[in-house]
């Protein structure tokens, strides 16, 4: 899988998943090594401005919801 294809596949994975996604699932879906998966996550953040965060409590990566929808007025 080429770099750009990997980024779009990763973006689609996060776009269609509601909760946190463990690195092991990213590795499986992208059919790559953990190092390549982490690099793809970094590139998705920097090249496509994806608001991905690691959620230790949920054991995986997810979109930062407040970054997607902005701060809501009180």
Total domains in the fold of the chain: 1
Residue span of the structural domain in which 26 resides: 3-69
Residue 22: inside a domain: yes
What is the sign, positive or negative, of the torsion defined by CA atoms of 24, 29, 32, 36?
negative
Residue 74: inside a domain: no
Q: Where are the alpha helices (DSSP H) in the chain?
A: 3-15, 23-30, 34-47, 65-69
pTM, 2 dp: 0.81
Reported as a pLDDT band with limits 50, 70 and 90, residue 18 is: confident
42-64 pLDDT tens trace:
999 998 899 999 999 999 999 99
Note whether 12 and 4 are within 8 A (CB): no
Reported as a pLDDT band with limits 50, 70 and 90, residue 1 is: confident
Residue 62: inside a domain: yes
CATH of the domain at 27: 1.10.10.10
């Amino acid at each position: 899988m080429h770099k750009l294809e990997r980024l779009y596949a990763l973006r689609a994975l996060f776009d269609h998943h509601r909760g946190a996604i463990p690195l092991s699932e990213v590795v499986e879906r992208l059919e790559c090594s953990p190092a390549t998966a982490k690099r793809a996550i970094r590139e998705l953040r920097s090249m496509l401005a994806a608001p991905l965060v690691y959620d230790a409590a949920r054991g995986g990566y997810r979109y930062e919801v407040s970054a997607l929808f902005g701060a809501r007025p009180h």
